[in-house]
Chain A
Amino acid sequence: MALPIEALQVEALPVLPGRRGHLVIKTGGVPAIPECGSATIPGLLSERSCVFYGARWMLAAIPDVIHLVHGPAGCAYYGGTVRRKNYRVYSSMMEERDIVFGGGSRLYAAILEAVRREPAAKAVLIYATCAAGLIGEDLDAICGNASAATGLQVVPVNSPGFRGCSQAAGHDLAASVLLRHFIGAGGGQSTIPNSVNILGEFDVQGDLQQIEALLQQLGLRIICAFSGRASTTAMAGAHRARLNIVHCRRTGQFLADGMQERFGTPHLKASFFGLEETAASLRAIGRFFGTDEAVVETAVETGCSEARRLAEPFLKRLRGKRVALFFGASRMGSMSKAFRDLGMNLVMIGSQFGCRVDYEDAGHKVAEGTMILDDAPEQELEIFLHQRRPDLLCGGTKEKYMAHKMGVPFMVFPQEGSPFAGFRGFVNLAREAAGLVSAPVWRLARSEDAGRQTRGHSGRGMETPRVSQGNAPPAGESSPLNLPDGISSKNGEGKMEAEAKTEHRPTRVAVASNDGLTVDRHFGNAEQFLVFDLTGDGVRLSEIRTPAAGDGCAETADEDGPTGAHKGGIEDRMRLLSDCEAAICIRAGHCAQERLGEYGLQLIEACGGLPDALRSFYASSGKEKESDER
């Protein structure tokens, strides 16, 4: 009997007041759209980056130009790595005197030297950083002079990090640079038949080859892919393509609009991630070019069936698993489709800097009850992972290690190993996801966790000693390893009779929780108990009860329980909860456990997310009831 736990805590995550609108849940079939596109609240661990980052993301892969960063050493170092790949970056390495007296002459000299160093380069891109922006460096003038001296196009990319709200501003900035200086520079008006550009495709681990192979089956040829395959020559002829395929809206749409305006090139939004999306994209492209439908259908059918066959062993392991996605922006929608093709359930989608359109698109593609999160700072992700415990989180490298610490497997996207695009890519995606969710390491991590729990660790402060032999319960008293999610149940057997209640009466259970999200308190020192009513239809928080201050059981208080408390406390607590069937807490002392029977209370020791604990309790009590009836 599944508990509709999503009904509980629709507010979902505790957030700062200013962040409330950024978090919504899809309900009632209408895609809910979070507040988006606004500046990040300072002081949080924003996952967003700066304009320079966005510009590098777009431009780094252009091979035959010189990339010169006008700024301190740090920006040049950081800007050299894009999508985990190293690119050569030249730097003017601004120093203190350049800040004071201006770095113009230094930059000019550096440009000339860079051109001498790379005589085959076709153009020079100059990236301005915060330092250059703040001292008001006249980039246009310097670039103009350098251009006259070298005979090459020297293009300023005015990307000081403080511009805009996130790297999205950098994507648009870079796109406008490409439009203004590179695209269509080759002249020639005639359109090349059966040719396309792909916008917003960076050829991560061979994605572009997969897409190219699919398009070849339709008889199409790629002129230029921005910017996975965008040499200056390719860009110069890009305006002659028949169609622009926008693969990533965030990085491609601006270019597509610009090219439509200037050259009249039509564009089409497509995605090659996941079977359904790939098939739909191929069909749409086929329709545009008037390709023989049989050809398209053959390509789709063979591709899909082959991919299904190859992915089948992996899909079995993924079916019904819960996945959360946290991306840059517009991949949310297409990737959520891909994960649904894998048979996984989406519990959350989120992005760093998605816009309204991105959320609308994604909102249509996700199921009811999915959480949608905009510009989540690290802590909200942390709480989400802790509370909802998805089976897999997919996002960028920064989030990876936090997810691991929270015990959640993580998949890096843009991916690290093999292509994910196209039908073949789907198999790779399935293989990787299946490998990650069934990794033995998580079983090992959990058993350690359960083992620790029985030894009396409350995990409040890391500096407290974890293992206290004196508090270890006698062997055999509990066997948490055999129960799901580290939940151990004590006194369970003696309570069978009490469980036999009428069907319609809700099960009342108290949870020792201070933050309302996790089971985080010892029975004896909980400041409050949340009392829930559980019925077959859902969960309701009926009240919050506050016991009188003081510890319950001084002689068994473990290492982080308050000491010297009065002994009467435990009785008060029992009485306070006497109408409940169970109390869920991270741990309880011996005297509490001994006396629970007198008050008809069942004691459950659990840790982790509150919804999970309730769900497990409900599942186990349901089973007991059934066996009782039999």
Chain B
Amino acid sequence: MRLNEIPIDGVPYDRLKVEKIPASPAYAPRDPELVPAAGRTLVINPDRICMPIGAMWAVLGVHRAIPFVQGAQGCTTYARYTFSRIFKEPATIATASFHEDAAVFGGRRNLLEGLRNLVVRYWPEVIGIATTCSSEIMGDDLVSFVKEARIKIGGEIGAEKMDRIAMVIINTPSFAGSHVDGYDRAAKAFVDTLATGRDTPDRRVNIIPGLLYPGDIREIRHLLEEMEIEATVLFDISDTLDAPLAPPQEIPYYPPGGTTLQEIRGMGNALATFALQPAAGAGGARSLERRLGVPAVVGLTPVGVDATDALLQNLSRITGREIPASLKIERGRLIDALADTFHHTMMKRVAIFGDPDTVTGVARFVCELGMTPVAVAPGTPTKTFEQEMDGIFAGYRELFLDTPKVFNGGDLFEFEEYLKTLPRLDLIIGNSKGIDISRELEVPLVRVGFPIYDRFGYQKRPIVGYRGAELLLYEIVNSILDFRYPDDRTQQL
């Protein structure tokens, strides 16, 4: 009996799973001409969301900050659903509630009234104003609107109180990029608006983590603590989107943690800015470098041994701190785990998809495991992706069983169809959107990256750093074992 025939509580298994519902009961044969994404205008199963949600993600990582979305209610509500499903946390995001009048007369009234209501009801310290397709197409002049709003609200609550509330405008026209770009733009907007001076240089470093989960950010903080480096993590969602449940709460609800306004203001004084994900956050780091001369260190996503080594060496070089013995022990443990599991991971074929920097990070790591990345597909195309992949593969090409196929952009339909042409595939690494592919190809899926909405706990389990890599390694190995030896309960490894 196959797994999907076993009824659970009277409901057959295949009715419980995330379904892929075609327009006809049987799958239509693929028109081969339609497979390459470059050859069609239709997009099927895109692996990306739009810009504003990336900006909202960023703002939620700031202490007592509320994103304000200048658009229709759906732009906010859908994003709140998405955050709720991924982080299992409330997401406080305000909306300008665009209706027909806004579409005709512009969003000025909504912005003035909305900011005022948000201020008097929530008293946030920072408001991150993200635009949407509608406000961008209408051409709302946000700079002057916000200026006007500040004067008006200031007249009501007092200029002094108004001065304590920072407002950051993030232009995120949805049609111009994906959530990754939205995050990048938010990083740039925050440092441009708030980190304006380099008056008292200090010994801190700035970290822009990119679209990493709370568990990853905690792991990065752990590395920094071990190195005894003080750091500003810009967009620190580790507490805000993973808050403890400890009633009674204060009203209005603000989650603990997040990057403080003061920290962001001081980013110009730092020794250097590390943008861990080139596509999400490098914009902020480069801007600090250009304007204030804070050196930018862009990449690599610290997944795996080499990339974590590189991060620690860079940190050590810039701050002058030694890499402590404790981290060397962690590295040793990871290496030990690599050696112990290598016979299970070597010569396995793996396909990777997701956000570009997650893909590059994971691809580098699976190469270290002796696996062959047969296909890599970033949901958001970047200019440097192919080049980065070449760089990673260069050292491993002779170990590869097949030549890796590198997509750049495209959609999951194309990716899936390519995987179906492969004679063999052992593992897929990607986000929850890959579950359909995994079920159909009967290949295990290791969940990594954004979004993961169909399982619990992944947002707390790091993949970065030595300890994160070890956890990811076990996830990979165990998935392979579960799949290859599903019935062998007695085998001792």
Contacts and interface: CB of A to CB of B under 8 A. Distances in A.
A401 B88 contact: yes
A517 B46 contact: no
Interface of A: 16, 39-53, 63-66, 68, 71-78, 81, 84-88, 90-96, 98-99, 106, 109-110, 113-114, 116-122, 129-131, 133-135, 160-167, 206, 378-379, 382-383, 386, 397-398, 400-402, 404-407, 418, 445-446, 448-449, 452, 459-460, 462-463, 515, 517-518, 520, 607-608
Given A72-B133, A117-B44, 14 more contacts: A16-B121, A41-B97, A51-B74, A73-B174, A76-B46, A92-B42, A110-B40, A117-B28, A118-B22, A161-B98, A386-B248, A402-B253, A518-B251, A608-B247
Given A50-B77, A113-B34, A161-B98, A134 B19 contact: no
Contacts of B246: 445, 448-449, 452
23 contacts: A42-B95, A45-B92, A52-B74, A65-B23, A66-B23, A72-B175, A73-B46, A77-B49, A81-B81, A85-B18, A88-B45, A90-B42, A92-B41, A109-B41, A117-B31, A117-B44, A161-B98, A162-B100, A165-B99, A382-B253, A397-B85, A406-B247, A463-B63
B466 to A, nearest CB: 30
Interface in B107-149: 109-111, 113-118, 120-122, 132-134, 137-138
B78 interface: yes
In the complex, the 10 A-B pairs of residues with the closest C-beta atoms, listed nearest first: A74-B50, A50-B74, A407-B247, A43-B114, A120-B24, A161-B72, A42-B114, A43-B117, A78-B78, A462-B256
B74 A96 contact: no
B97 A39 contact: yes
A48 B251 contact: no
Given A43-B113, A78-B78, A64 B248 contact: no
Interface string B65-92: 0001001111111101110110011101
Contacts of A382: 251-253
B94 interface: yes
A515 B256 CA distance: 22
A452 B249 CA distance: 12
Given A99-B175, A445-B247, A46 B77 contact: yes
Contact of A131 (B48, B76, B113, B174): B174
Given A162-B72, A162-B102, A135 B137 contact: yes
Contacts of B73: 40, 46, 48-50, 161, 166
Contact of B174 (A68, A74, A165, A460): A74
A462 B132 contact: no
Contacts of B102: 162
B243 interface: yes
Contact of B250 (A92, A106, A113, A459): A459
B21 A44 contact: no
Contact of B113 (A41, A402, A459): A41
A102 B134 CA distance: 15
A491 to B, nearest CB: 23
A122 B202 CA distance: 66
A53 B42 contact: no
A495 to B, nearest CB: 26
A382 B252 CA distance: 7
B245 A64 contact: no
Most buried by A among B23, B99, B116, B248: B248
A435 B93 CA distance: 31
Interface in B26-45: 26, 28, 31, 34, 40-45
A495 B425 CA distance: 77
B52 interface: yes
Given A44-B118, A131-B133, A94 B74 contact: no
Contact of A53 (B74, B247, B253, B256): B74
B49 A73 contact: yes
A397 B453 CA distance: 13
Contacts of B1: none
Contacts of B84: 397-398, 400-401
B60 to A, nearest CB: 13
Nearest to A159: B74
Contacts of B256: 462-463
B122 to A, nearest CB: 7
A518 B253 CA distance: 14
A74 B120 CA distance: 31
A379 B121 contact: yes
Contacts of B53: 74
Contacts of B296: none
A43 B78 contact: no
Contacts of A51: 74
A86 B53 CA distance: 19
A96 B175 contact: yes
B28 A118 contact: yes
Most buried by A among B44, B97, B134: B97
B96 A42 contact: yes
